[in-house]
Amino acid sequence: MEMTKRPRRLRGSMTLRKMVRETRMDKASLMYPMFVMDGENKVEEIPSMEGQYRYTVDRMGECLQELLDAGVTSVMLFGIPAVKDEVGSQAYDDNGVVQRALRYAKEHFPQMYLVTDVCMCEYTSHGHCGVLCDHDVDNDKTLELLARTAVSHARAGAQMVAPSDMMDGRVAAIREALDEAGFTNVPIMSYAVKYASAFYGPFRDAAGSAPSFGDRKTYQMDFHNSREGIKEALLDEEEGADIIMVKPAMSYLDMVAKVKEQVTTPIACYSVSGEYAMVKAAAKMGWIDEERIICEMAVSAYRAGTDIYITYFAKELAKCMDEGKIG
């Protein structure tokens, strides 16, 4: 058989395969989403996310230390307040749970890079991502509260803010407010291409943030659309977003690749709670090999072009990188 091109030639040994790898990654690009809650001395496992916990501020150090030991150096904080109200006041209270967590982490774990999720749904009694006017979220009134939240986070020590609400114009509003407050160097990572997705189910369970009526389809994107995602990404870049995020990850890697071609910011993608829960459940049944699956999920996100990978499996992936299983 005469063949000049034999692709298998480059697959002959592990050394060779590693030499010609097209996708390489680094622990520095992993970000871990973490839940902090009001209260004292509590660590609660999240029922639909086995192996993930909610921590009170006084116990969050346990998690941060484990991450640092594994070589994961950035976290994204989500707050679960004891009380919620119509206008989500705990979101922008300087003594809110995320603000206290930031002050604690900044003091005790200065090596950890602190990012905060900026949204109202964990703080509103109705579970929507903004303030309501009749039965819909009032976009422009919400902007002011998001901006207040971002500034309050920065004041407490957030090094980067990540708005996830999907209101129009929020990046510009937050940029302006941060700049006015003197935080010109705090970057904004925008959840720009965020779809209305059933993959967020376990998160809403974790944060008690499921909307009490309706859904999020008037602000999060319709998953049938791709060009609309480019529109969102371009708008947010124009408004001053420093990093553009695509979310969820696994079913949306086409968007990671497309957005990467359209913007000049770094790209992040978020492997969300439903992706985590599916892997955990199938692994528990003995139907898949958990470690190999999470490696494939991560590598495919990087292969699609992500620069930052936000994942509940950050620690496990860091270990796989150390052991040379990926990377």
Residue 203 interacts with ligand PBG (CB under 6 A): yes or no = yes
CB 268 within 8 A of CB 308: yes
> Least distance in Å: CB of 55 to ligand PBG?
16
Residue 56 interacts with ligand PBG (CB under 6 A): yes or no = no
Residue number with the smallest Cβ distance to ligand PBG: 203
Residue 121 interacts with ligand PBG (CB under 6 A): yes or no = yes
Residue 313 interacts with ligand PBG (CB under 6 A): yes or no = no
Residue 194: active-site member: yes
Residue 273 interacts with ligand PBG (CB under 6 A): yes or no = yes
> Least distance in Å: CB of 166 to ligand PBG?
8
Burial category of 221 from C-beta neighbours within 10 Å (exposed 0-12, middle 13-18, buried 19 and up): buried
Tell me which DSSP letter residue 71 carries. T
- CA–CA gap between residue 180 and residue 178 (Å, rounded): 5
Residue 259 interacts with ligand PBG (CB under 6 A): yes or no = no
CB 26 within 8 A of CB 314: no
Residue 146 interacts with ligand PBG (CB under 6 A): yes or no = no
Catalytic residue among 84, 194, 258, 315: 194
> Least distance in Å: CB of 62 to ligand PBG?
21
- Binding ligand PBG (rule: CB under 6 A), the pick from 74, 164, 190, 265 is 164
Residue 192 interacts with ligand PBG (CB under 6 A): yes or no = no
Q: Does an H or E element contain 162, and which?
A: strand 160-163
- Binding ligand PBG (rule: CB under 6 A), the pick from 119, 143, 154, 188 is 119
- CA–CA gap between residue 174 and residue 152 (Å, rounded): 11
Please name the residues in contact with 63: beta carbons below 8 A apart, sequence gap of 6 or more: 34, 53, 55
Q: CB neighbours (10 Å) of residue 22? A: 6
Residue whose tokens read 């010109």: 184
Residue 91 interacts with ligand PBG (CB under 6 A): yes or no = no
Burial category of 240 from C-beta neighbours within 10 Å (exposed 0-12, middle 13-18, buried 19 and up): middle
- CA–CA gap between residue 235 and residue 244 (Å, rounded): 10
Span of 65-73, 168-176, 196-204, 300-308 interacting with ligand PBG by CB under 6 A: 196-204
> Least distance in Å: CB of 203 to ligand PBG?
3
Number of residues that bind ligand PBG (CB under 6 A): 10
Residue 18: active-site member: no
CB 126 within 8 A of CB 211: yes
> Least distance in Å: CB of 121 to ligand PBG?
5
- What Rg do the C-alpha atoms of the chain give, in angstroms? 20
Planar angle of CA 137, 130, 43, nearest 5 degrees: 140
Span of 66-74, 94-102, 198-206, 222-230 interacting with ligand PBG by CB under 6 A: 198-206
Our CB check for ligand PBG shows the closer of 121 and 243 to be 121
Q: Which residues are catalytic?
A: 194, 247
Applying CB under 6 A, which residues contact ligand PBG? Answer: 117, 119, 121, 129, 164, 200, 203-204, 272-273
